[in-house]
Amino acid sequence: MTPAELAEVVLSAAHAVFTDRGLDRSALPERVAVERPRNPEHGDYASTLALQLAKKVGRPPRELAAALAEQLGRAPGVKSVEIAGPGFLNIRLDAAAAGVLARSIVQAGPAYGRSDRLAGERINLEFVSANPTGPVHIGGVRWAAVGDALARLLRATGADVGTEYYFNDAGSQIDRFARSLLAAAKGEPAPEDGYGGAYIAEIAAEVLTRRPDALGPDDAAAQEVFRVEGVALMFAEIKSSLRDFGVEFDTYFNEKSLHDRGELDQALNRLREQGHVYETEGAVWLRTTDFGDDKDRVLRKSNGEWTYFAADCAYYLDKRERGFERVVIMLGADHHGYIGRMKAMAACFGDDPARTLEILIGQLVNLVRDGAPVRMSKRAGTVVTLEDLVDAIGVDAARYALARYSSDSMIDIDVELWTRATRDNPVYYVQYVAARTASVGRNAAEVGLARGDAEAFRPELLDHEKENELLKALAEFPAVVATAAELREPHRVARYLEDLSGAYHRFYDNCRILPRGDEDVTDLHRARLWLNDATRTVIANGLHLLGVSAPERM
């Protein structure tokens, strides 16, 4: 019995109690929650329903709890119900009700943990969005891991998600990039405000290979060639490195298309219609202070140039007009000041920013070796890149390490820790369970042990304390997935997998799955094999949500 199934049993019992006692059933909620108590001695699950309903119906909580306990005690699968404190219900399941979950998980396979909790939501999820002026640095890699995991979680809970990478191929940064390439091609030092690193020379050389005529007498024309060709080459490299990292986007959106299609003018006109645009000193402004921003924002400068903020407005409107009801944007730590202006901008369009716009801020990441930060890439010159991180610890460890922590916390990634084949390496600890459960399956086949028909499964035999502990951990997976999606916190899945791995190790150490020597295969062996395979399923499903492999051998 899963927590969701038990919650339905509790709600059904409440309906019966209210009917028998003539209480107002409109006071009953549509759904109830059951939780695992911190102390296992308090039962398998706990409910506070009696406390929640007592005041609504004018009955003492313990009196209502007693009625609920009596009704619940008659429900199939419920072994006992105890009342604690002011009216808590501590519920214990019988072994058969608990054990049948193993079969349900194996039969569900990859679908176990999925739900329709967010069904009907259309979400645009933008992450990474690094400018094509250099390789993806380690901060962007964090968003690649977290953003891709979040997209998987949202889809697993029923949301319609479009992932998006927005890149700036216009503006001053691209001009500096083009000047840097041109200087490298001419054998000159990088401009004072330009970009350095070996990759600039590499790209400049590639541009010359493609366009031998790029260096002409007109520097302005040459710079334009290096801008167009250089951006294309740099972005192709970014896409390739992200693809190797297991991250691909549904849409790659370039800022220049907003200018080319006249969408900045369209956004400005829409904002004018809403009454929030004014002009002063030749510039066009958006009155974002009407909606809590600390100052109004310039849309178009007095010289006629559009601002980056104007492009932000047009891009937001473009997403909304493509049918996305919620726009989620992941930004780095240095973008915290964007939240107020972006929320105000959404309100200026007439939207409710609490419903349509969500901005997640990620903190810094340091790569550490021998206790000291790795401060720069050999190739990029100033930053640690995606390739540096992958070269140091591998794709699986990098994705797991970056997704394991709340994105609003700074993290240090210790190269020694994340490459260690020991239990203190979190990704190794979890992947080892994936491999061990697969190994058990192979060894079982060699000795003639098979799960057998589902109808012959004997769940009541799984009555050992460690079996019960593992079953309860497996039962929590769907709720963990739903909560991680709703709170935008993929790290909850990683921490859950580590707890589940600990529960499996304790089960494995205390409950022999395979028969010894000439020992006959029994129903207990088969039941434990179901539990082993259920664990393999959940570990694999959870790792998939993080974009990490579930190896069969290690």
Mean residue pLDDT across the chain: 92
Report the pLDDT value the prediction gives residue 377, as an integer from 0 to 100: 64
Instruction: Strand 251-254: give its sheet, edge to edge.
Output: 251-254, 160-167, 122-126, 326-331, 357-361
Q: Is the pLDDT of residue 375 over 90?
A: no
437 lies in a domain?
A: yes
SS3 166: strand
User: Which residues 6+ apart lie within 8 Å of 50 measured at CB?
Assistant: 61, 62, 64, 65, 68, 87, 88, 89
Report the pLDDT value the prediction gives residue 411, as an integer from 0 to 100: 93
b/e per residue, 230-258, with b = 16+ CB within 10 A?
bbebbbebbbebbeebbbebeeebbbeeb
**What percent of the chain has pLDDT above 70?**
98
Average pLDDT in the 433-438 region?
98
Q: Domain of residue 79: give its range.
A: 3-93
**What percent of the chain has pLDDT above 90?**
69
509 lies in a domain?
A: yes
Question: Backbone phi, then psi, for 7, in 5-degree steps?
Answer: -60, -40
Per residue in 212-248, pLDDT (tens digit) is 988 877 888 999 999 899 999 999 999 999 999 999 9
Average pLDDT in the 56-70 region?
89
What gap in Å lies between CA 486 and CA 324, rounded to an integer? 17
Question: CB neighbours (10 Å) of residue 160?
Answer: 16
What's the CATH code of the domain at 41?
3.30.1360.70
What gap in Å lies between CA 526 and CA 461, rounded to an integer? 10
206 lies in a domain?
A: no
Helix, strand, coil shares of the chain as percentages rounded to 5? 55, 15, 30
177 lies in a domain?
A: no
Report the pLDDT value the prediction gives residue 26, as an integer from 0 to 100: 85
Last residue of a domain, one of 66, 93, 120: 93
Average pLDDT in the 256-277 region?
95
Question: CB neighbours (10 Å) of residue 544?
Answer: 17
Quick one: pLDDT band at residue 381, thresholds 50, 70, 90? low
- How many helices (H) and strands (E) the chain has is answered by 21, 14
76 lies in a domain?
A: yes
What string of DSSP letters covers 364-424? -EEEEETTEE----TTTSSS-BHHHHHHHH-HHHHHHHHHSS-TTS-EEEEHHHHT--STT
Average pLDDT in the 341-352 region?
97
Return the higher-pLDDT residue of 12 and 323. Answer: 323
Quick one: pLDDT band at residue 257, thresholds 50, 70, 90? very high
Per the listing, tokens 């794709």 go with 395
Quick one: pLDDT band at residue 196, thresholds 50, 70, 90? confident
Per DSSP, helices labelled H in 58-171 are 61-73, 95-108, 138-156
Q: Is the pLDDT of residue 2 over 80?
A: no
Q: Which two tokens stand for residue 65?
A: 């709890």
What gap in Å lies between CA 21 and CA 89, rounded to an integer? 19
SS3 446: helix
Min mean pLDDT across 71-85, 259-273, 440-454 is at: 71-85
Average pLDDT in the 316-338 region?
92
Last residue of a domain, one of 64, 93, 122: 93
Quick one: pLDDT band at residue 500, thresholds 50, 70, 90? very high
Q: Is the pLDDT of residue 495 over 90?
A: yes
Question: CB neighbours (10 Å) of residue 435?
Answer: 17
Quote the number of domains for the chain: 2
148 lies in a domain?
A: no
What's the CATH code of the domain at 446?
1.10.730.10
Report the pLDDT value the prediction gives residue 240, as an integer from 0 to 100: 94
Residue 199 carries which side chain, given as an amino acid letter?
Y
What string of DSSP letters covers 7-59? HHHHHHHHHHHHHHHT--GGGS-S----B--SSGGG-SEEE-HHHHHHHHHT-
What is the rounded (10 degree) CA torsion for 95, 97, 103, 107? -170
What gap in Å lies between CA 440 and CA 18, rounded to an integer? 49
Last residue of a domain, one of 34, 59, 93: 93
Query: CA 355 → CA 123, 267, 438, distances in Å?
Result: 11, 20, 44
Q: Is the pLDDT of residue 170 over 80?
A: no
Average pLDDT in the 203-220 region?
89
What gap in Å lies between CA 86 and CA 459, rounded to an integer? 34
395 lies in a domain?
A: no
